[in-house]
Amino acid sequence: MTRVRFAPSPTGHIHIGNARTAFFNFLFAKKNSGSFVLRFDDTDLERSREEYAQGIETDLRWMGIDPDVIVRQSQRFALYDAAAQKLKEMGRLYPCYETADELDRRRKRQIARGVPPVYDRAALKLTDEERAALEAQGRKAHWRFKLEERTMHWNDLVRGESHIEAGSLSDPVLIREDGTYLYTLPSVVDDIDLGITHVIRGEDHVTNTAVQIQLFETLAGKAPIFGHHNLLTTASGEGLSKRSGALSIASLRQAGIEPLAIAALATLTGSSDAVHPVASLQELGGLFDLSHVSRGAARFDENELATLSARTLHAMAFGDVVSRLAQEGVSGAKAEAFWPAVRGNLETFSDVREWWRVVEQVIDPVIEDAEYCSAALALLPDEPYDAQTWSRWTAAIKERTGRKGKMLFHPLRLALTGKDSGPELAQLLPLIGRVKAAARLSGQSS
């Protein structure tokens, strides 16, 4: 059974780059009839905040990602303590007492001598007495994982055959001297405990993978499958930051960007499929394939989002927007014909309010030429109206007045809608109806 996780730390708002990781995991789970775990990496109790965790959950659900399971690392310390204990007993987790300054000096000496600045494992050589003496001085241990010096291979779902020489790495610190955990161990312990089969994450984590595979193998016998995708960058090549709040999902929602547009952009940028509007996450899932994700940069132009969002709206079926229309006050007998009439003119969904006002509520008509409008009013057909009413009416006006083109149509648009441009009047007129049309043509607010 496939099980994946999206593991943000709740220290800020997630942005479209984080959404890329979330969608990759979610679509991968859906494709394989698996499940999706939302794991909050909140071991940093100072920087993590509940409001960010809630915000992330809201953002994910708004984008159509409903987690099957939600866990918080802050509630799972007992598991990490047990794993640390096990590693200590196996002789794979050892106490070190160097200060940051000492380590820094040692690194500089190594570099000067032309040797790689890898931790020299001096702490492994300490005798019990030396350790006791250091502790008596008030030093507290931080704990390092003793790596086996071998080449770690994995077949990356995105990058293909990959390897890292563990012997070229410093033994990683898993526990700080104040007893808090760095990200490495809790992540592995949770992935084991939750039965994660595939770890799909950004390529900024590739360097963690050799260490984590060794931890998996030590604690559970085997590691999950890994896939590291390229990170989204802005058109100018800049990375996205959680802290700046730029391109956060919350701000895009506020700007009226469609969630499906975010999904398409986050998923298809930097893949072999061009970014284009999709009608559902299911459709996007059919296009998505980790092996189609390029290894090069995944640049996107943030100005494309608004256009993609509008194009996404223009293709939406009425059935997919019924409840959203109701939330904007659009419901009743006219709603179903209203949607296809106006959707092609929407920039954001909330623009429906203005067009609903035009067909259902009161507007101030703009009368450019009162004489012309009253001539048109005299020819206004009786109801019932249909899609041909407009062309029959305007043909009659043309014949009577000799006007054509913009001179014929534009004053009618201004009178009927109060606006310079908008949806096809052939579709709007039946929705506006004769009573309102007649009042507006004679200059009355209606």
| Interface positions with ligand GLU (CB under 6 A) | 7-9, 41, 183, 187, 201, 205
Q: Which residues pair with 163 in a beta bridge?
A: 153
- CB of residue 7 vs ligand GLU: minimum separation in angstroms? 4
Give the DSSP letter string of 345-376: G-SSGGGHHHHHHHHHS------S-HHHHHHH
Q: Report whether 165 contacts 211 (CB < 8 A).
A: no
| Angle CA 388–391–396, to nearest 5 | 125
- CB of residue 326 vs ligand GLU: minimum separation in angstroms? 37
d(CA 397, CA 118): 87
Nearest residue to 79 (alpha-carbon basis) of 216, 187, 205: 187
* Nearer of residues 189 and 313 to ligand GLU, judged by Cβ: 189
- CB of residue 287 vs ligand GLU: minimum separation in angstroms? 23
* Nearer of residues 7 and 134 to ligand GLU, judged by Cβ: 7
Q: Identify the helix (H) or strand (E) that includes residue 161.
A: strand 160-165
- CB of residue 187 vs ligand GLU: minimum separation in angstroms? 5
- CB of residue 39 vs ligand GLU: minimum separation in angstroms? 8
- CB of residue 181 vs ligand GLU: minimum separation in angstroms? 12
* Nearer of residues 201 and 436 to ligand GLU, judged by Cβ: 201
d(CA 125, CA 121): 7
Q: State the DSSP code for 237.
A: S
- CB of residue 23 vs ligand GLU: minimum separation in angstroms? 14
Helix axes 425-441, 405-417, angle to 10 degrees: 70
Please list, in sequence order, all residues whose beta carbon lies within 8 angstroms of the beta carbon of residue 190, skipping any fewer than 6 positions away. 5, 39, 71, 73, 76, 79, 196
CA 25 to chain centroid, in Å, comes to 11
- CB of residue 47 vs ligand GLU: minimum separation in angstroms? 12
* Nearer of residues 216 and 300 to ligand GLU, judged by Cβ: 216
* Nearer of residues 9 and 389 to ligand GLU, judged by Cβ: 9
Alpha-carbon separation of residue 272 from 212, 280, 287 (angstroms): 30, 19, 10
* Nearer of residues 202 and 256 to ligand GLU, judged by Cβ: 202
* Nearer of residues 8 and 285 to ligand GLU, judged by Cβ: 8
Q: State the DSSP code for 248.
A: B
Give the DSSP letter string of 375-388: HHHHTPPPSPP-TT
* Nearer of residues 188 and 265 to ligand GLU, judged by Cβ: 188
* Nearer of residues 9 and 35 to ligand GLU, judged by Cβ: 9
- CB of residue 212 vs ligand GLU: minimum separation in angstroms? 8
* Nearer of residues 9 and 248 to ligand GLU, judged by Cβ: 9
10 Å CB burial of residue 384 (0-12, 13-18, 19+) is: exposed
Q: State the DSSP code for 239.
A: B
| Alpha helical stretches, state H, 241-381 | 249-254, 259-268, 281-287, 302-314, 318-327, 335-342, 352-360, 370-378
Nearest residue to 314 (alpha-carbon basis) of 353, 333, 341, 337: 341
Residue whose entry in the numeric block shows the structure tokens 């994910």: 60
Alpha-carbon separation of residue 127 from 122, 123, 130, 134, 141 (angstroms): 11, 9, 5, 11, 14
* Nearer of residues 162 and 401 to ligand GLU, judged by Cβ: 162
